[in-house]
Structure formats: structure tokens, C-alpha cells
Amino acid sequence: MDATTERPTRLIWIGVGLLAIILALAFWAMQFQQPPAATLPVLGQIENFSLTNQLGQAVTLANLRGKVWLADIIFTRCPGPCARMTRQMASVQSALPKDSAAQLVSLTTDPGYDTPAILQAYPARLKLEAYPARWQFLTGTKTEIANLGINSLKLAAVDKAPAERTEADDLFIHATIFVLVDKQARLRGIYQTDGEVVTWADVQPAILAAIKQLENER
């Protein structure tokens, strides 16, 4: 190989080497760069509904459209996780910034018993404050609740067979998750409220961060 041929060849290999070094440095930098907030997936669309809150007022999807809202499903006679979930929801209420327009929604799976008056008294029974302007407890017919809770929000709830009940008020098997809805009435997040691997101390900050992210979405 003469000198004329050797020089271009050497330059090509030098270029390849420099490109490899640049790519390696870029990859290394990406590992230490703060990643941007992940876009929350769209998990479904919330269908229109008409229910009644703890003040006896009608609540429809139109009342919540344009706001981010966090929802769960409970019942006031619940001997199981409902009290814990309601305390957790109350902690979210306390942690939300004052300028946040986010709403909290608790559906009852026991509408035959959970009248607006009983729902209004429920937080006080747990020594909690629930501000109606922020947190609504909703009741209605079983069909209406199923349409919103099960079909739209994916909050499963079924009657418990008498033979499976551990006590008289052990009436339902229901979801123990919180779900997050955006301003366009789309389901955007599902959060466990208990667990051994992920604790509430981990989950609450994630919920608050997601609410802030969705409130800032255009």
C-alpha cells in the first residue's frame, strides 16, 4: 500500500474511532441525566353519570370535567380496608396545594344503606375532616354506581356471598385502589393503597406528583 492510499484509510479509521467515542460519551451522559417526567398513559374514557353527593346535590361528569380527580370505592359499614383508605384519601386532601383545583371522589358500593346523611357523617366517625368543596362522597342506584365505578373507573365491587362473610357487615369484595382522572375525563393512573413492597409513604408522593402533572397538562 503506498502513502497516497494509506492516508485516506487512516483518516477513515480515525473518524470511526472518534464517532465511537462520541457515541459512548453520549450514552454515558444519558445514564446520569435527570429523565423527564413520564407521560401518564390514557387507560380509558369516563362515561357520563348522575349521582348524589353527601349534601344531597346532584353530581354529573360535567361538574368534574376540567378538573383532575382521584377516586376510590368504599362503604361506611365496611369492617375491612375502607377506614384505612378514607384516612389515606384525607391525607391527600391535606397535602394538596391550596391553589390546586383537584377533586376527591369516594363512591359507595352500599347505596341502600349509605344515604347522603350517612356519607356526610362518615368522616367524622373516623375523626377526619372532608371538605365538600374538595371531596365528594357519592351514592345513587346500584346500576348508576356500577356504570361509573366498574365500567369507567375499573373499581370492581361485588356482593359477598353470605357463606363467605366473616361478620354481619362483611358485605362486599371491592377494589382497594385509587384511580386518577384527568381534566378531559380520561383514566390516567391506578395506585395501590396497601402492599408489602410499595407502602403508602411511597404511593402518596407519586399521586401528588401525578395530580400536579395532569393539572399542568394543556
Mean pLDDT by runs of 10 across the 218 residues of the chain is: 49 40 34 50 96 98 97 92 96 97 96 96 97 97 92 83 66 81 97 85 96 94
Maximum CA extent, the chain: 97
Q: State the burial class of residue 117 (Cβ atoms within 10 Å of its Cβ: 0-12, 13-18, 19+).
A: exposed
pLDDT at 35: 36
pLDDT value for 12: 41
State the Cα–Cα distance between residues 96 and 200, nearest whole angstrom. Answer: 16
DSSP helix, strand, coil percent of the chain (3-state; round to 5): 40, 20, 40
pLDDT of residue 76: 95
CA distances from 165 to 73, 79, 196 (A): 19, 11, 25
DSSP single-letter state for residue 98:
T
pLDDT at 1: 53
For residues 187 and 91, give the distance between their C-alpha atoms in angstroms, rounded to a whole number. Answer: 22
What local confidence, expressed as pLDDT, does residue 172 receive? 58
Predicted pLDDT of residue 9: 45
What pLDDT is stored for residue 80 in this prediction?
Answer: 84
Identity at 135, one-letter amino acid code: W
Report the pLDDT value the prediction gives residue 95, as an integer from 0 to 100.
98
User: Cα torsion for 30, 35, 36, 40, to the nearest 10°?
Assistant: 120
Handedness of CA 137, 97, 94, 124 (dihedral sign): negative
Q: What is the pLDDT of residue 17?
A: 43
Query: How high is the pLDDT of residue 168?
Result: 64
Fold of 44-216: Glutaredoxin (3.40.30)
Query: According to the model, what pLDDT value does residue 151 have?
Result: 93
Element (H, E) at 186: strand 186-192
Which sign, positive or negative, has the C-alpha torsion 129, 148, 200, 84?
A: positive
Nearest one of 169, 115, 112 to 137, comparing CA atoms: 115
